[in-house]
Amino acid sequence: MHPQRLFILEKILTNALKHPNSEAVKDGNGTFTYSQLVEQAKRISTQIEEQHFCGSVINVDVGRCKERVVVLLGILMSGSFYLPLEEEWPGKRKQVVCNQAHISASAKLTENSTLRIVPQLNDGNRPKKDPVPSGGGYLIFTSGSTGTPKGVVIAASSLDYVLKNSIERFNVSNSTKLLAVASPAFDFSIFELLLPLVAGGTVCIADKSIPKNPDYFEQISKKWQINCFTGTPTMFTMMTMGGWIPQTNATLILGGENVSNLLLKNLSTANQIWNIYGPTETTIYCLSKKLKLGEEITLGKPLPGTKVWVQTTKKNERTGELYVVGPSVGFGYINNIELTKSNFFY
C-alpha cells in the first residue's frame, strides 16, 4: 500500500532539505533537528513497510517525548494509522482500546531510546480486511456519554486539510515555537505536534506537570522562548491566577471549554487569541473565532470548504444538533457500524 501524497509531509520534507539544522522538536531531554527528525521517521516507515504493516493500525505508547513525533511522522509516511495511548491509562483500558482497534503492531521505545515497531498479531489473527480507509491517518478513542471507548477514524486527507488551512488562519511560520501540553490521547495533541513543523517552526513538548504549575509554565516558556500556546480555558485561567502574563508576540489557541470575558481580559496582552471548537469526529476542530475585547465570544466560522449548522426541532429554537459537512468529517467509528450509521451521513 502506498500512502497518498500529503501536503503536510511534503512541507516537512522540504523544510528538512532547506533548513536541516533548524530545531524541529525538543523536550526536556534534548532536541531533534529537521534532518534528524525526518531521517528517524523514514526509518520507522521502513520498519512498517518491511513487516508488511502498511495501512494497519499501530498503537503508540512512548510517553510525552520528542520520539512520539518521529513515530507519528513515520506512521503517516507509511500510509498507516496512528493510535495514541495515554501512559496513565489502566492496563485494562489500553487492552480494550487495542483489541477494538485491531492493532497490528506497537511502537516501542527501548531502554537505549531506540524506536522499534513490534508485531502484536500473528499472520493468522490479522483482520482479513483493513477496518479503516486506505491512505492512513489516525484513531482517537473517546468515552462519550456511555463510558465505553469508541474509536474515531480520521483519514490522513482530513488531517492534511485541517493543518493546511490552520497555517494561514493562525499565522504559523518558521519562527513559531509552540508549547505542546495536550495529553497524547486527545486529538489536539496531533495538532500541536504537527502544525509548527509544517511551517518550519519548532514543537516544544512539555511534561505533564507543566499545565498545573504556573511557575514552571512561565519558566519553561521563557527558557524555550515560546510564542504559541494552546490549551483549555481552565489551564489558561490557572496560569493567569499564578501571575503569568502573555507576551505581546504570543498566539493563544483555546479550546474544549467556554471562554469567559474575565479570562479574555486577563489574556489580552497577547498578539492574538483564538477560540476553537469541534468534536473529535471532525478532525480536531471545525469552528474558530479570533477573540477581541468588547466583542461577543462565539465559536466563529468554519474552515474554507466546510459547512456547519444547528438543526432544531422547533422554529426560532436556539439549541439543537450540530451538523458538519466537509473534508474534515471523519470516516466513522472503528468496528462499530451501527454507531457510525447513526452519527455519520454519506
Out of 122, 138, 155, pick the residue that ends a domain. Answer: 155
3-state secondary structure of 262: helix
pLDDT of residue 5: 80
Residues 185 and 145 in one domain: no
Residue 172: the pLDDT is 98
Q: What value does the mean pLDDT take over residues 130-148?
A: 75
Q: Write out pLDDT tens, residues 193-231.
A: 999 999 999 999 999 888 889 999 999 999 999 999 999
- Provide the pLDDT confidence category of residue 93 given band limits of 50, 70 and 90: confident
Q: What is the pLDDT of residue 254?
A: 98
Residues 162 and 151 both lie in one domain = no
Q: Identify the domain boundary among 155, 188, 203.
A: 155
This prediction has a pTM of 0.92
Same domain (yes/no): 172, 320: yes
Domain-embedded: residue 2: no
* Helix, strand, or coil (residue 49): helix
C-alpha torsion angle, residues 95, 99, 100, 104 (rounded to 10): 120
> Same domain, yes or no, for 126 and 146?
yes
Q: Which stretch of 89-93, 204-208, 280-284 has the lowest confidence by average pLDDT?
A: 89-93
- Is pLDDT above 70 for 147? no
Diameter of the chain by CA atoms? 63
DSSP-derived letter for residue 229 is E
Same structural domain, 110 and 205: no
Task: Read off the amino acid at residue 13.
Answer: L
Residue 152 has phi, psi (to 5 degrees) of -85, 125
29 and 104 together in one domain? yes
Mean pLDDT of 155-177: 97
170, 251 contact by CB (below 8 A): yes
- Of the candidates 101, 122, 155, which is a domain's last residue? 155
- Give DSSP secondary structure letters for 114-131: -EEEEE-S-TTTS-SS-S
- pLDDT at residue 302, as a whole number: 97
Q: Assign residue 223 the CATH number of its domain.
A: 3.40.50.12780
Look at residue 73 and tell me if it is in a domain. yes
pLDDT of residue 2: 47
Q: Would you state the pLDDT for residue 109?
A: 86
pLDDT at 21 over 90: yes
pLDDT mean over 299-313: 93
Give the structural domain span for 116. Answer: 7-155
Grid cell in block for residue 124:
493468522
Is the Cβ–Cβ distance between 208 and 107 less than 8 Å? Answer: no
Q: CATH number of the domain at 137, please.
A: 3.40.50.980
pLDDT at 312: 84
Same-domain check for residues 148 and 179? no
Q: What is the pLDDT of residues 314-329, one digit of tens each?
A: 777 778 889 999 999 9
Q: What percentage of the chain carries pLDDT values higher than 90? A: 76
Same domain, 196 and 253: yes
Torsion angle of alpha carbons 218, 220, 224, 226, nearest 10°? -40
Q: Same structural domain for residues 181 and 324?
A: yes
Query: Do residues 180 and 297 share a domain?
Result: yes
215: its cell numbers: 511557575
| Structural domain total, the chain | 2
- Evaluated on CA atoms 266, 272, 278, 280, the torsion sign reads negative
118 in a structural domain = yes
- Residue range 271-287: mean pLDDT, rounded: 97
Are the C-beta atoms of residues 199 and 169 closer than 8 Å to each other?
Answer: no
177 and 258 in a common domain: yes
What is the Cα–Cα distance from 17 to 72, expressed in whole angstroms? 20
> Within a domain: residue 36?
yes
Q: Do residue 163 and residue 136 come from a single domain? A: no
CA nearest neighbour of 170 among 247, 218, 225, 229: 229
> What gap in Å lies between CA 308 and CA 29, rounded to an integer?
42
Q: Is the pLDDT of residue 125 over 60?
A: no
For residue 189, is it within any domain? yes
